[in-house]
Structure 1
Amino acid sequence: MDLMDIQAPPQGAYAEADGVKYHYIELGTGSPTIFLHGGGPGCTGWSDFGQVAPLFAAGRRCLLVDILQYGRSAKPVIEGPMWDYHAAKTVALMDTLEIDRADFVCNSWGGTIALNLAAKYPERVRSLVVTGSMPVFYGPLAPLPEGGRRGRNARDVYYGGDGPSLTKMRELMARLEWYDPEAVPEGTVRLRYEQSLDPEETALAGASDNPRGDWQDLTAELGTIQAPVLFMWGMQDAFLTPDYPLMLARMIPKGNLHVMNEASHHLQEERPYDFHSVVDGFLNQRHG
């Protein structure tokens, strides 16, 4: 395995964006590159990309953003279409940080946000790298595992019963996010667990209504995306096998797919050097 230890997160900074407060960590200088993390319990920009971002920061301005409702960012109740909300607020964050156009490197939940952003605000996106995201609810493997609710069910189990614990976090990551359960790093388990204890985050996870907004299917949006998109997928992804991103890549005019063996849902953590090698090569192409 191509593993490296995660370091303690830097202090980070805050930015107001259209009435909400974002927390982000900035590393390096150069072409702006925004990292958006996944939607698992306790996920943050640093927990999902802290192992690989220093590699990108050698030649890029990297912004590891805590998406809304996660990490140290604001946790508003979202009403209306969820991906439209996140896309608009992310663009507002770019405005605050005076970033006209950026590359995006995203995992799962964050990737769906970025795909919608690229469709609705094409002038703001240079290129996209998307791992483990589910922007549409059908595909060659339908019905999806657990009716497409595997992530929701995992959150319910994690926050249910006796509540969060280090053991439950380790088991969740080993079962759904990592190819080799023995390689799950204890530092990341602890970071995720400690963040999952945030009272606002716990309240959102346990709410009986729909505080995350209305789900959107992005079929129509995918066909309008003009930015080059690279789907980076783990061969052993626990949610969707590579047949699914192959379908997505064919729906996008400039879609590409790279499948990495011995990797599951968080390949940027499992194989950071290999992930960086492929993704950095893609980002440095002449995308315009």
Structure 2
Amino acid sequence: MDASAQGHFVTLPDGLHLHYLDIGNGEPVIFIHGSGPGASGHSNFKQNYPVFAAAGYRTIVPDLPGYGASDKPDTLYTLDFFVAALSGLLDALDIQQCVLVGNSLGGAIAIKLALDQPQRVSRLVLMAPGGLMEKEQYYLQMEGIQKMGAAFAKGELHDAGGMRRLLALQLFDESLISDETVNERVAVVRQQPVCVLSTMQVPNMTSHLDELQCPILGFWGMNDKFCPVSGAQTMMQHCQNIRFVLLSECGHWVMVEHRELFNGECLAFFEEARS
């Protein structure tokens, strides 16, 4: 982990302990990771958030409940549960307004928080966000979702080989998977209860997308095996003040496979609001 990224813990009013990284100064940018088994904020965004901090932003990288070094309670992992936890973290840090950057489940969380508390979100950056179709459709259509759930339930991800096979589904170019990331995620997945995925509920928010008020920048890989790229068109049709970057030879992790493009496009998007 970047030596300059200090890990912190906060206890929310309901007793939930959340871990987060906090680096840099300036406008707050919150990075929200996805639901992949063993995920953490750092493992998802370690090639991104230091660049944003160096560019003059306060980058906050939480571990969602059930993930990373945060508490992993035996509870229902609904979208509202995640949104309440993120909102509680922002309250604890006295962050009145921020940019939300969300991948997959993190994208769905970002959308829901922006719908619930529009005054709190100045801009959205979404990478293949969830919450754009019914849960059954994801499981029926997407190879990655099917194999992820089965491997997690069977305990196949507790060793490096199993985790590497799963992460290969996330990327078009699996050579980008580092031993460091594999080991980080194996250490987390061994602590995760089955309910983290088995009870996850993310509703279809398509009918509410026209309520989003802030500018939106989206990314989607054409080879995504977890969230279908048709979601980009869904968002473009329903949202205002939105643009999308579609990438060939790219899977579910745009910020990993095309990190320089992702970082540069995001920073340019942020600078538009400053000028």
Question: TM-score, structure 1 length as denominator?
Answer: 0.85
In the other structure, the counterpart of 1:88 is: 84
In the other structure, the counterpart of 2:189 is: 196
Q: Residues 267 and 275 of structure 1 are in contact (CA less than 8 Å); yes or no, is this contact kept in structure 2?
A: yes
Structure 1 residues 8 and 272, CA, compared in 2 at 3 Å: closer, same or farther?
Answer: farther
In 2: Cα distance, 1:194 partner to 1:188 partner: 10
Q: Residues 142 and 227 of structure 2 are in contact (CA less than 8 Å); yes or no, is this contact kept in structure 1?
A: no
Letter aligned with residue 168 of structure 1:
G
In the other structure, the counterpart of 2:175 is: 182
Q: Which string of whole-angstrom CA distances, capped at 9 and with x for unpartnered residues, describes residues 13-35 of structure 1?
A: 01122322210011111110000
In the other structure, the counterpart of 1:168 is: 162
Structure 1 residues 150 and 41, CA, compared in 2 at 3 Å: closer, same or farther?
Answer: same
SS of aligned partner of 2:9: strand
Identity, % of aligned pairs?
28
- Structure 1 or 2: more helix by fraction: 2
In 2: Cα distance, 1:248 partner to 1:173 partner: 26
In 1: Cα distance, 2:166 partner to 2:220 partner: 19
Structure 1 residues 205 and 153, CA, compared in 2 at 3 Å: closer, same or farther?
Answer: farther
Letter aligned with residue 118 of structure 1:
A
Q: Which string of whole-angstrom CA distances, capped at 9 and with x for unpartnered residues, describes residues 130-149 of structure 1?
A: 112221216xxx96563458
Question: TM-score, structure 2 length as denominator?
Answer: 0.89
Q: Residues 29 and 99 of structure 2 are in contact (CA less than 8 Å); yes or no, is this contact kept in structure 1?
A: yes
Instruction: Please say if 1:100 is aligned against 2:93.
Output: no
After TM superposition, the structure 1 = structure 2 runs for residues 4-83 of structure 1, keeping only pairs within 5 Å, are 10-19=5-14, 20-58=16-54, 59-79=56-76, 82-83=78-79
Q: How many residues align?
A: 272
5+ residue gaps in structure 2? none
Q: Residues 7 and 51 of structure 1 are in contact (CA less than 8 Å); yes or no, is this contact kept in structure 2?
A: no
Q: State the Cα distance separating 1:78 from its structure 2 match.
A: 4.1
Q: Which string of whole-angstrom CA distances, capped at 9 and with x for unpartnered residues, describes residues 20-65 of structure 1?
A: 2210011111110000001001100000001111111111100001
Q: State the Cα distance separating 1:11 from its structure 2 match.
A: 4.7
Instruction: Please say if 1:259 is aligned against 2:253.
Output: no
Q: Residues 144 and 170 of structure 2 are in contact (CA less than 8 Å); yes or no, is this contact kept in structure 1?
A: no
After TM superposition, the structure 1 = structure 2 runs for residues 97-246 of structure 1, keeping only pairs within 5 Å, are 97-137=93-133, 144=138, 146-147=140-141, 150-151=144-145, 153-160=147-154, 164-174=158-168, 176-198=169-191, 201-205=192-196, 210=199, 212=200, 214-246=201-233
Q: Residues 27 and 63 of structure 1 are in contact (CA less than 8 Å); yes or no, is this contact kept in structure 2?
A: yes
Q: Residues 135 and 219 of structure 1 are in contact (CA less than 8 Å); yes or no, is this contact kept in structure 2?
A: yes
In 1: Cα distance, 2:137 partner to 2:87 partner: 34
5+ residue gaps in structure 1? 1-5
In 1: Cα distance, 2:97 partner to 2:197 partner: 36
Q: Residues 45 and 255 of structure 2 are in contact (CA less than 8 Å); yes or no, is this contact kept in structure 1?
A: yes
Structure 1 residues 171 and 203, CA, compared in 2 at 3 Å: closer, same or farther?
Answer: same
In 2: Cα distance, 1:23 partner to 1:232 partner: 27
